[in-house]
Structure 1
Amino acid sequence: MDISVDQIDKWRQVKSETQNLEFKEAKTQFDTKRLFKYCVALANEGGGHLLLGIADQAPRQVVGTQAFTDLMDITSKIFIAIGFRVDVSEVAHPDGRVLVFSIPARLAGTAYHFEGSYLMRSGEELVPMSEDRLRMIFAEGQPVFESKIALDKVSASDVISLLDTQSYFELIQLPYPIDREGVLERFIREKLIIHEGSHYKITHLGALLFAKNLDSFDTLSRKSVRVTTYEGKDKLRTLRDTIGKKGYAVGFSGLIEYINGQLPANEVIGQALREAVPMFPEIAIRELVANALIHQDLNEPGSSVSIDIYSNRLEISNPGLPCIEANRFIDEYQSRNERLADLMRRLRICEEKGSGIDKVVSSIEMFQLPPLDIRIGEKRTYTTLFAHKQFEDMDKSDKVRACFQHCVLRYLIGEKMTNQSLRERFGLGSRQSDVASRIVSQAIEEGMVKLEDPENASRRYAKYIPYWA
């Protein structure tokens, strides 16, 4: 594979390394086993290029490399070690020798490994793939969960009695057909049911969204949403434990209404009267619940979306680990259940791609609440909304997390975080700029935000961007 000097210089201009592009100085040598690991990780992430002889920090100067002078030898060693071919090119750049490893993407349904370790990139590190991610890869090419059959050989009248067809047309904002055939035709087009001979099959997608009672479908009865309300800040005393029965689409509005009804209200004093206001903005609850439904691992047996209500927080969790890192939830989007997500967006149950979590964070800032907390467990993903806290009661991690989320939010609307904007986010006065500065410094130390212009010596007028920008 011929790679030109111009191509090398184009790669050097990218804003940051990606899952498919890696730079290493390797002036004199590069560890062979490490090379094998990078080849495996990049292949598992869709293929890409590893370049030796280039600094990995901007402006990415070409420093030249003396590693692997025998290209035939290293090509052979790579194939023997990891079992697939990697093309190796030597480019005589004016500033030094550059070595380019062109790594192919893995085959569908296959994950590559080195010495038994299935690797992927996570920031600057190479890490083993999670069990959740491996299961997704090995399932590629197989029928997705939504297209599998929930109930076979049902009549037309059974379809109408089992699925809430009326709600579908109301949610999609279309008039209800004048006859049953029109209803069935629309459901077939949406892949909610399949017509086969004189009978119909109800798909998982159809039942999961529009079931009048999920218990009518054996494979989906454990996918019902569970809402548990506790008396205090822990699980010692349960007040109510409710399991929903309706499909996600037809039961969504009722679910959100029920959650809001379980939440304690904050009481504020207006000009004349005391007024009860919601503990959390409804849009935040709606988006987080919808996200949990859309992004759950539907193939995880015996588990479902759970909503736990405490006196000081609302915790929403779903089975499965996310496809992207937690810090990128605000600005990136990747769903493991695309058919489910697409239909729920068209039914206006959730926002368009990538515009949900930013609205959650924006509404949290508007309510002056502590920042959203996203936690990745061993097999579940947790998002938590916290009740109002005074600024003085927030700990360091709260303040740094709020600073990062505010910085991302500003970046997404084409603006930059400043000392003033952060003070406004926390409700701080103009005389508390030093307090905001300390929070920004802590966020920089933890690698969450960075200066837009590192050469700017003035902190008074400094602007900040997320670490990944």
Structure 2
Amino acid sequence: MTDTRTLALIDELLALPAETTWVEFKENNSDAEMIGKRISALSNSARLVDKHFAYMLWGIRDADHQAIGTYFEPSSQKQNNQPLEMWLSQHLQPAIAFNFSEVDYRGSRLVLLEVPAANNSPVEFDRQAYIRIGSATPRLSDHPERLKALWTKLQPYTWESALAAQFLSSDDVLSRLDYTVYFELTGQPLPDNRAGIFDKLRADHLIQEDVGGRWNVTNLGAILFAKRLADFSPSLARKAVRFVAYDGLSRADTVTHRQDGQKGYATGFTGLIDHIDGLMPRNEFIGKAFREERPLYPAIAIRELVANALIHQDMTITGAGPLVEMFSDRIEITNPGQPLVQPERFLDFPPRSRNEALAALMRRMRLCEEQGTGIDKVIVAVELHQLPPPDFRKEGDAVRVVLYAPRRFADMTPQERVRACYQHAALKYLSGEKLTNSTLRERLGIEPQNAAQASSVIRQAIEAKLIRVADPSAPRSGYVPFWA
């Protein structure tokens, strides 16, 4: 039995005034090379007009676009002694998940071919890319203006704009997305009618119109505002944030707390940060009149580093999501994906994100700092608390940040002292100042009478080529990072 969405889709395709660059009708023409060229052309054309899919529909009379049925049977057709679909797959580059389906449409047997829009590069058939212009299917290379326009469309295509769920009723959309959180965090009044709600969600690319009055939820909408990520695809559910706490220094120690995220990032962010804060060890601080307990780690550092892990992860890596681990002496925050900037340059390079829409909306909702200031604030907070310097590092196909519990200068490793010196120099330079022996002593908690210890750290940082003298003609002018 043909599903409701497919019937609604065909209704809308047949209601088009004519064939478009992303829709083509046939009666019985089943030539394999023709189909291969059309898949290439339709896929490339769909991306040009911002469609997620293009379609070929067999069983349609060309003169008046009436459904008359077809004899074409893709499941039984062969080409060069191979099943048609396998043969087409071998001749298309890059591989795309096209799909044939037989449809009983009001008593007529039709065949629908659904072709995904090109994602990363133009789709080629036998090493040649095609495009639709009117009813013609010329080579894309013969139309350089369209080739240029296609590459322009392909460059910003991101995971965020793909679909997490299709053909949902308006009730289903509102039951799966926590739209009240969206309005609260974006500072917009909640509309008093459903049309107003959907207009706002659509404007921020959280949902899209589907066929038959139904709706699609984008990956952006699901990953941020899902009430339960499991209501969407398993791959999306695995992007939930995991939190694990251990009672010792290693992963071999007993797990004391584990929380596997269920909600979207925006919906669950405050709860996650509060959960971490509630489990965080405390230090006793004696003020002028009272004793009080303060968290072991600065709250802004935890908040910003978790937000960065969400924003900068590689969403295309399946089966892995952000991970926060708490040990007795440190917190480690890991996100999947190679860094787009070398870790030692996180502090000064303009931020680059794979997920620009996600990052922009999270900043708009004030779930993280303004663009380019987050890591600065982490280092500032760490220095104010005189913690060991955070360690930003690449591990396999992931980025890991380690935030350490308080430790005296005497207990820091030589590598940590040098890293603290470099980060301090970078922070000073970005604020228009320079690192000196005095500022480094204050940063590391070194007493004035032990200035030689700070001098030793500076010398080691220079030898590691992480800092340099600001003005070689004036050795007492202070120090700047190597990239300054």
Within-5 A mapping of 1:36-435: 141=155, 143-197=157-211, 198-218=213-233, 219-235=235-251, 236-270=253-287, 274-332=291-349, 333-435=351-453
Query: Equivalents in 1 of 2:456, 2:326: separation in Å?
Result: 33
In the TM superposition, what whole-angstrom CA distance separates every residue of 1:179-237 from its partner, at most 9, and x where no partner exists? 11111000100000001230000000000000001010114111110000101111121
In the TM superposition, what whole-angstrom CA distance separates every residue of 1:391-424 from its partner, at most 9, and x where no partner exists? 1101111100000000010111111111111111
Secondary structure (helix, strand or coil) at the match of 2:238 reads: helix
Paired position in structure 2 for 1:40: none
Contact 2:176/2:227 (<8 A) preserved: yes
Secondary structure (helix, strand or coil) at the match of 1:362 reads: helix
In the alignment, which of 441, 446, 469 is matched to residue 451 of structure 1? 469
In the TM superposition, what whole-angstrom CA distance separates every residue of 1:357-387 from its partner, at most 9, and x where no partner exists? 0100000000010001112111111001100
Unaligned stretches of 5+ in structure 2?
1-119, 123-150
Secondary structure (helix, strand or coil) at the match of 1:191 reads: coil
Residue 275 (structure 1) shift: 2.6
| Corresponding pairs, count | 332
Residue 271 (structure 1) shift: 5.5
Query: Equivalents in 2 of 1:276, 1:468: separation in Å?
Result: 40
Query: Equivalents in 2 of 1:212, 1:181: separation in Å?
Result: 21
Amino acid at match of 2:281: P
Query: Equivalents in 1 of 2:427, 2:156: separation in Å?
Result: 38
Secondary structure (helix, strand or coil) at the match of 1:398 reads: helix
Query: Equivalents in 1 of 2:453, 2:156: separation in Å?
Result: 54
Query: Equivalents in 1 of 2:478, 2:363: separation in Å?
Result: 35
Query: Equivalents in 2 of 1:436, 1:462: separation in Å?
Result: 16
User: Judging changes above 3 Å, is the alpha-carbon distance between structure 1 residues 330 and 109 closer, same or farther for their aligned structure 2 residues?
Assistant: farther
Secondary structure (helix, strand or coil) at the match of 2:373 reads: coil
Residue 272 (structure 1) shift: 6.2
Q: For the pair shown, which has the larger CA radius of gyration, 1 or 2? A: 2
Query: Equivalents in 1 of 2:280, 2:299: separation in Å?
Result: 11
Query: Equivalents in 2 of 1:425, 1:246: separation in Å?
Result: 39
User: Judging changes above 3 Å, is the alpha-carbon distance between structure 1 residues 271 and 348 closer, same or farther for their aligned structure 2 residues?
Assistant: closer
Residue 157 (structure 1) shift: 1.2
Query: Equivalents in 2 of 1:175, 1:272: separation in Å?
Result: 44
Contact 2:425/2:480 (<8 A) preserved: yes
Secondary structure (helix, strand or coil) at the match of 1:241 reads: strand
Query: Equivalents in 2 of 1:140, 1:196: separation in Å?
Result: 22
Paired position in structure 1 for 2:109: none
TM-score, scaled relative to structure 2: 0.67
Query: Equivalents in 1 of 2:154, 2:387: separation in Å?
Result: 41
In the TM superposition, what whole-angstrom CA distance separates every residue of 1:129-162 from its partner, at most 9, and x where no partner exists? xxxxxxxx9x964841101100000011111111
Query: Equivalents in 1 of 2:468, 2:155: separation in Å?
Result: 41
Residue 306 (structure 1) shift: 0.3
Query: Equivalents in 2 of 1:409, 1:142: separation in Å?
Result: 32
In the TM superposition, what whole-angstrom CA distance separates every residue of 1:232-260 from its partner, at most 9, and x where no partner exists? 11112111111011100111111100011
Query: Equivalents in 2 of 1:424, 1:440: separation in Å?
Result: 14
Query: Equivalents in 1 of 2:328, 2:391: separation in Å?
Result: 17
Residue 276 (structure 1) shift: 1.6
Amino acid at match of 1:297: D
TM-score, scaled relative to structure 1: 0.69
Query: Equivalents in 1 of 2:154, 2:408: separation in Å?
Result: 48
Secondary structure (helix, strand or coil) at the match of 1:416 reads: coil
Secondary structure (helix, strand or coil) at the match of 1:223 reads: coil
Query: Equivalents in 2 of 1:270, 1:350: separation in Å?
Result: 30
User: Judging changes above 3 Å, is the alpha-carbon distance between structure 1 residues 323 and 439 closer, same or farther for their aligned structure 2 residues?
Assistant: same
Residue 454 (structure 1) shift: 1.2
Query: Equivalents in 1 of 2:342, 2:398: separation in Å?
Result: 14
Query: Equivalents in 2 of 1:446, 1:335: separation in Å?
Result: 29
Query: Equivalents in 2 of 1:272, 1:395: separation in Å?
Result: 36
Contact 2:429/2:481 (<8 A) preserved: yes
Query: Equivalents in 2 of 1:311, 1:140: separation in Å?
Result: 46
Paired position in structure 2 for 1:131: none
